[in-house]
C-alpha cells in the first residue's frame, strides 16, 4: 500500500439553493500514513466534510489536495485511484456476491468498457486474503451480518489500491468484537485515513489527530490528548464531560453527564 498526504485548505460547502453553509471554511492536513478522526454532534457537518474529501460534492471555496494535486483538477477516475471511501449505504438485495462487490473496487483502474483482467483478479484475491473473506467470497452480500458486510465494504475500498481512505462511522451498528476488529484493521493499514466517529474515547484511542466540528464550524484540530479538553468537549456536545483515568490501566477516558 502506498500512502500520500492529504491537504485540505479553506473548504466550505452549501446546498445548491441554500445560502446557509453546511460547512464553514475548514483547513487541516494529514501527513502520509496518519489517522485523522472527525468528531462532533449529529448534524455538525461531519458527513458533509467527508463528501468533499471523496469528491461527491465540489467545495464552494478552498481545495482538497492529495499528494499535492487538487482532486478537482483531475478526472473522476484518477481521483478514485487515490481516494477510496467506506460509507454507510445499505446494500439492497441485488444478488451480488462478496467477490463481485470487492471487484467493483477495480473499476477506476480499468479502461472505459473493459472487463476485469488477470491483474484485477490478483488484487481481489489478495484483498480477500487480507480481510479473511475467502470463506465468504461466493456468498450473496445481502445474506451477511452487519460486521461481515462492513468488512466487505472495507475490502472493496482496499481493492481500489488507494492512497487515502475515508471511513464514515465504520463502527456504527457493530458489536464490541467487530468494532475492535475494524479498529485494529484501521491501525494496520498504513494508509492515510480520515474517519468520522461518534465515540470520543475510541477516537482518542486510535487517531493521531482529531478534528472537532460543531454546527458546521471547525472547533479545532490537533492530537486528541491536547485538543479534547473538558471545556471544549462539554461546549461542543452541550454536556458535562470530564476526562478521568481508568484504574488499573491509567488510560484516559471521558465520562459524560447531562448538564442541569
Partner 1 sequence: MNRIRLSAGPPARTSPVLWTVGIIGVAVLVGSLSFAVSVGAVAVPLETVWGILVNKIAPNTFAVDWSAGREAIVWDIRFPRAILACLVGAGLAMVGASLQAVTRNPLADPHLLGISAGGAFGAILALLHTGLFIGLLTVPLLAFLGSLGATLLVLAVSQVASATSADRLVLAGVAVSFIVMSAANVLIFVGDPRATHTVVFWMLGGLGLARWDQLIYPALVLLCCGTYLWLKSGTLNAMTVGDETATTLGIPAAFFRLTVFVIGALVTGVMVAFSGIIGFVGLMIPHIVRLLVGGDYRRLLPISALCGAVFLVWADIIARTIMAPNDMPIGIVTGLIGGVFFVWLLRRRMG
Name residues contacting partner 1, limited to 174-213 (CB under 8 A). none
3-state secondary structure of 95: coil
**φ and ψ at residue 31, rounded to 5 degrees:** -70, 155
Based on the shown chain and the rule CB under 8 A, indicate whether residue 16 belongs to the binding site for partner 1.
yes
Does 95 interact with partner 1 (rule: CB under 8 A)? yes
The answer to whether residue 167 forms part of the interface with partner 1 (CB under 8 A) is no
Q: Does 94 bind partner 1 (CB under 8 A)?
A: yes
If one asks whether residue 143 binds partner 1 (CB under 8 A), the answer comes out as: yes
Is residue 19 a contact point for partner 1 (CB under 8 A)?
no
Cell numbers given for 98: 462478496
Buried b (16+ CB within 10 A) or exposed e, 149-168: bbbbbbbbbbbbbbbbbbbb
Among 29, 32, 107, 219, binds partner 1 (CB under 8 A): 107
Residue 131: CB partners within 8 Å, gap ≥ 6? 151, 152, 154, 155, 158, 185
User: Residue 159 or residue 206: which is nearer to partner 1 going by CB?
Assistant: 159
Nearer to partner 1, 82 or 178 (CB): 82
Is 92 a binding residue for partner 1 by CB under 8 A? The answer is yes
Give min distance, CB of 119 to partner 1, in A: 12
Footprint of partner 1 on 240-259 (CB under 8 A): none
**Which range in 28-36, 64-72, 94-102, 198-206 contacts partner 1 by CB under 8 A?**
94-102
216, 151, 145: which is closest to 186 by C-alpha?
151
**Closest CB to partner 1 among 55 and 214?**
55
Strand 83-86 vs strand 164-168: parallel, antiparallel, or unpaired? parallel
Report the SS3 class of residue 54.
coil
The alpha carbon of 29 is separated from its chain's Cα centroid by a whole number of angstroms, namely 15
Closest CA to 150 of 125, 120, 172, 132: 172
CA distances from 167 to 7, 145, 239 (A): 17, 19, 26
Distance CA 28, CA 7 (A): 6
138 is a site residue for partner 1 (CB under 8 A): yes
For the CB of residue 64, give the shortest distance to partner 1 in the complex, in Å: 13
- 142 near partner 1 (CB under 8 A): yes
Beta bridge partners of 253: 244
Q: Does 77 bind partner 1 (CB under 8 A)?
A: yes
| Contact set with partner 1 (CB under 8 A) | 16-17, 51, 54-56, 75-81, 83-85, 87, 89-97, 99-101, 104-105, 107-108, 110, 113, 115-116, 121, 124-125, 138-140, 142-143, 153, 156-157, 160, 166
Amino acid at each position: 500500500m502506498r500512502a500520500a498526504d492529504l491537504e485540505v485548505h479553506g473548504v466550505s460547502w452549501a446546498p445548491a439553493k441554500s445560502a446557509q453553509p453546511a460547512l464553514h471554511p475548514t483547513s487541516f492536513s494529514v501527513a502520509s500514513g496518519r489517522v485523522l478522526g472527525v468528531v462532533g454532534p449529529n448534524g455538525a457537518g461531519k458527513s458533509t466534510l467527508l463528501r468533499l474529501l471523496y469528491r461527491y460534492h465540489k467545495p464552494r471555496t478552498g481545495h482538497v489536495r492529495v499528494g499535492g494535486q487538487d482532486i478537482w483538477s483531475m478526472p473522476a477516475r484518477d481521483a478514485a485511484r487515490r481516494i477510496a471511501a467506506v460509507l454507510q449505504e445499505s446494500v439492497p438485495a441485488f444478488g451480488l456476491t462478496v467477490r463481485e462487490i470487492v471487484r467493483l473496487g477495480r473499476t477506476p483502474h480499468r479502461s472505459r468498457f473493459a472487463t476485469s483482467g488477470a491483474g484485477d483478479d490478483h488484487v481481489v484475491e489478495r484483498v480477500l486474503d487480507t480481510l479473511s473473506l475467502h470463506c465468504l467470497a461466493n456468498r450473496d452480500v445481502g445474506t451477511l451480518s452487519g460486521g461481515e458486510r462492513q468488512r466487505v465494504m472495507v475490502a472493496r475500498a482496499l481493492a481500489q489500491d488507494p492512497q487515502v481512505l475515508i471511513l464514515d462511522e465504520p463502527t456504527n451498528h457493530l458489536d464490541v468484537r467487530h468494532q475492535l476488529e475494524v479498529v485494529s484493521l484501521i491501525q494496520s493499514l498504513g494508509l492515510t485515513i480520515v474517519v468520522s466517529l461518534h465515540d470520543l474515547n475510541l477516537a482518542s484511542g486510535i487517531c493521531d489527530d482529531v478534528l472537532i466540528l460543531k454546527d458546521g464550524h471547525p472547533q479545532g484540530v490537533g492530537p486528541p490528548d491536547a485538543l479534547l479538553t473538558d471545556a471544549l468537549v462539554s461546549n461542543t456536545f452541550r454536556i458535562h464531560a470530564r476526562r478521568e483515568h481508568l484504574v488499573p490501566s491509567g488510560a484516559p477516558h471521558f465520562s459524560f453527564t447531562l448538564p442541569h
